[in-house]
């Protein structure tokens, strides 16, 4: 077997034979739980004992546990992290990674909550502190707005390590009605086979480089090479191919349908196999023997021969010519400079500069530690977000009086419905990088701070009881980003968070 050969080649066969059964190693609760006191002694021999207990164990018949001194749910020496005892209304970010197993973290914020004796998996709680110990400002019910692609089932390509793809759609994130995402990996020179979709496909290259090729309904052709940070877009129905260049590639695909599924793609191989050979012979004006070696299964993702370095060798045109400029299917976003401001950097791509993607608008944002993508909402579209690096949190406010805070790390998808207020705050010690995607002809939002600054002062003071000092400091121009103190619990010690 392949695995045996790999182990032998590494000189580890003698170790592998003697290894115990592999176990997942993670921090969880230990000791007795649910009436079971592990570890249970290993038993060998014929089965003994009954599967069902006696009727004498029914309530009112069986003996009762003592009111005091029985099985304990007390957590000894619970550990609280910095800011956890502060007023819950402050909603400070809690760094549960600093908690010491097994005494922390604990689901406590201010005077609310209580200790957790288990069952529990500590790693989940460290990744999601605002779910485990939510700010007191969270209220009511908000649809689940976060999905980690690390929990999506991976679909492998054919052949030796050709690549893979995993997806997010409404099956796993029901609120995401307007958009879905796919994270795809192609090995060096591997293909995503010739295909097309019923949805538009907007893509951001994450790593490596890709050669893309397509034709439109007039028979005009397109071929181009894109690299990390670049974008392509194919309207629904436009057939295209993707091939990784010599260093391989990983890219993010966003589709304009929440029900999109990678398994429902139209494939060239399947079309060939599902149409009579006699029809293909007539259509391509060739002998039926020409189809003796056609694939007998879809190729999906598969290894290929290297693309020629000279791309002009693959630039095949008809009388309709080639697509380029405003009709082309790519945009070299990596070559666009960022707009730099206090708190981080932003760059925007929408149909104003990439017209072929007439309903896709996106912002690539870099937030410094402690900084904030200001409180805002979108009037034209839901927002689909993807986190490329770092950690952040988002509170989603939904009318009239509901909110929930979600935590994000690299590889997570966020989804926020149109008009729902929200922010994105860097909760880590490094920059956080994320992508915001809208179904809109222009990237736009309403800034809460700008709204307050441009509304008659009397109205704001009578409604919100804010002081002149606060209102005087509000910027009349949209800032997009706000700088912040990297010490996320500074307020608890009397400091400032900005």
Residues designated as active site: 436
**Facing residues of 384 across strands?**
415, 437
Q: How many CB atoms within 10 Å of residue 425?
A: 21
* Residue 105 main-chain phi, psi, to 5 deg: -75, 165
49-83 b/e (C-beta count within 10 Å ≥ 16 → b):
eeeeeeeeeeeeeeeeeeeeeeeeeebeebbbbbb
Q: What is the CA radius of gyration of the chain?
A: 28
446 burial class (0-12, 13-18, 19+ CB within 10 angstroms)? middle
Q: What is the DSSP letter of 306?
A: P
Q: What is the DSSP letter of 139?
A: B
3-class secondary structure, 99: coil
Distances, alpha carbon 278 to alpha carbons 266, 271, 285, in Å = 21, 14, 10
Closest CA to 148 of 391, 485, 351: 391
Distances, alpha carbon 289 to alpha carbons 273, 277, 278, 284, 299, in Å = 14, 9, 10, 12, 21
3-class secondary structure, 471: helix
Whole-angstrom distance, CA of residue 314 vs CA of residue 498: 54
Distances, alpha carbon 187 to alpha carbons 228, 245, 466, in Å = 15, 9, 57
Q: Residues 6 or more apart from 168 whose CB is under 8 A from it? A: 147, 149, 152, 176, 180, 181, 182, 413
Q: What is the DSSP letter of 80?
A: -
39 cis-preceded (ω within 30 degrees of 0): yes
Distances, alpha carbon 248 to alpha carbons 264, 307, 436, in Å = 25, 12, 25
Joined together, the tokens standing for residue 176 give 């995401």
């Amino acid at each position: 077997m392949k695995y045996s050969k790999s182990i032998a080649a590494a000189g580890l066969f003698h170790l592998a034979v003697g290894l115990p059964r592999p176990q997942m190693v993670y921090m969880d609760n230990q000791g007795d739980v649910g009436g079971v006191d592990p570890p249970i002694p290993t038993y060998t021999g014929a089965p003994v004992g009954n599967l069902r207990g006696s009727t004498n164990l029914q309530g009112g018949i069986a003996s009762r546990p003592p009111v005091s001194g029985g099985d304990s749910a007390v957590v000894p020496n619970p550990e609280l992290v910095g800011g956890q005892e502060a007023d819950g209304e402050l909603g400070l970010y809690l760094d549960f990674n600093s908690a010491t197993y097994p005494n922390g973290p604990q689901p406590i914020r201010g005077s609310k909550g209580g200790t957790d004796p288990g069952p529990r998996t500590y790693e989940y709680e460290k990744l999601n502190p605002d779910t485990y110990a939510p700010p007191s400002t969270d209220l009511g019910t908000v649809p689940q707005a976060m999905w980690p692609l690390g929990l999506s089932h991976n679909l492998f390509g054919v052949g030796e390590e050709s690549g893979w793809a995993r997806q997010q759609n409404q099956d796993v994130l029901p609120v995401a009605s307007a958009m879905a995402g796919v994270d795809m990996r192609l090995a060096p020179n591997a293909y995503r086979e010739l295909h097309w979709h019923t949805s538009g496909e907007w893509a951001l290259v994450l790593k490596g480089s890709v050669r893309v090729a397509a034709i439109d309904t007039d028979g005009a052709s397109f071929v181009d090479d894109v690299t990390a940070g670049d974008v392509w877009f194919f309207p629904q129905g436009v057939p295209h191919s993707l091939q990784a260049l010599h260093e391989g590639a990983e890219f993010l695909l966003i589709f304009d349908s929440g029900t999109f599924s990678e398994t429902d793609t139209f494939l060239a191989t399947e079309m060939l196999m599902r149409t009579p050979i006699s029809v293909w012979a007539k259509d391509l004006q060739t002998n039926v023997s020409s189809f003796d070696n056609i694939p007998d299964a879809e190729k999906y993702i598969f290894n290929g021969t290297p693309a020629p370095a000279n791309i002009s060798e693959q630039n095949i045109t008809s009388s309709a010519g080639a697509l380029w400029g405003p009709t082309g299917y790519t945009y070299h976003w990596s070559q666009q400079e960022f707009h730099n401001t206090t708190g981080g950097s932003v760059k925007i791509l929408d149909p104003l500069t990439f017209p072929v993607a007439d309903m896709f608008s996106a912002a690539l944002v870099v937030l410094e530690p402690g900084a904030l993508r200001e409180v805002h909402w979108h009037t034209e579209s839901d927002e689909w977000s993807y986190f490329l690096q770092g950690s952040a949190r988002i509170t989603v406010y939904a009318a009239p009086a509901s909110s929930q805070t979600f935590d994000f790390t690299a590889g997570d998808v966020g989804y926020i419905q149109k008009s729902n207020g929200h922010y994105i705050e860097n909760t880590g010690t490094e920059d956080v990088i994320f992508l915001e995607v809208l179904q809109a002809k222009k990237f736009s939002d309403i800034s809460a701070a700008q709204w307050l600054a441009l509304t008659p002062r009397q109205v704001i003071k009578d409604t919100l009881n804010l002081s002149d000092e606060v209102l005087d400091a509000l910027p009349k121009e949209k800032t997009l980003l706000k700088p912040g103190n990297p010490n996320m619990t500074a307020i608890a010690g009397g400091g400032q968070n900005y």
